[in-house]
Amino acid sequence: PVKKRMSGGTIALIVVAVGGVLLVPVAILAAIAIPAYQDYVGKAQFAEATMVAGPYKELVAAHHANAGTCPNDADINASGMQGKYVGRVEFPGGPAPCAITIVFADGEPTVAPLRGGRVSFLGTPTPDGMAWQCQSGLPDKYKPMACR
């Protein structure tokens, strides 16, 4: 009997078909995983803002208790207080509620939706100190529940 050999075109077709079957699930998984990972990274970066603001809450409450007004940038030196994703900390001053405003860094490695964005922690005087609230116009998917 005469054996037929596969032609080069047939082999190429088989390789393309098998490759396509293997690549499609990988591409689908990547399409789901990459955005989810970016959201996770953004949440972690937003959490840094909360951590940076933490120590200032006590200073702001003490200043308000002593001076009767909210501190401004000249009252609290935050020039060296940055993080990997936090660009600067601002204190606008004035009457209550007192604000601690965290400004995210403008460039890498901060995720694009947070770059240059702001989150404010507003302290309202109470008999026991200050009650704090978080406000930000940044996308909710990056914010902790306390800031939504």
Q: What is the pLDDT of residue 94?
A: 92
Q: Which residues contact 143 (CB under 8 A, 6 or more apart)?
A: 46, 119, 134, 136
Burial of 100 (0-12, 13-18, 19+ CB in 10 A): buried
Tell me how far the alpha carbon of residue 17 is from its chain's centroid.
Answer: 42
| Closest to 121 (Cα-Cα) out of 63, 62, 65, 51 | 51
For 121, phi then psi, to 5°, come to: -110, 115
Helix (H, G, I), strand (E, B) or coil at 83: coil
The per-residue pLDDT for range 56-83, each reduced to its tens digit, is 999 999 999 999 999 999 998 877 777 8
pTM of whole model > 0.85?
no
* Residue 123 in tokens: 């302290």
Helix ranges (DSSP H) in the chain: 8-67
The per-residue pLDDT for range 69-125, each reduced to its tens digit, is 999 999 988 777 778 999 999 999 999 999 999 999 999 999 999 999 999 999 999
Task: Tell me how far apart the alpha carbons of residues 145 and 148 are, in angstroms, rounded to a whole number.
Answer: 5
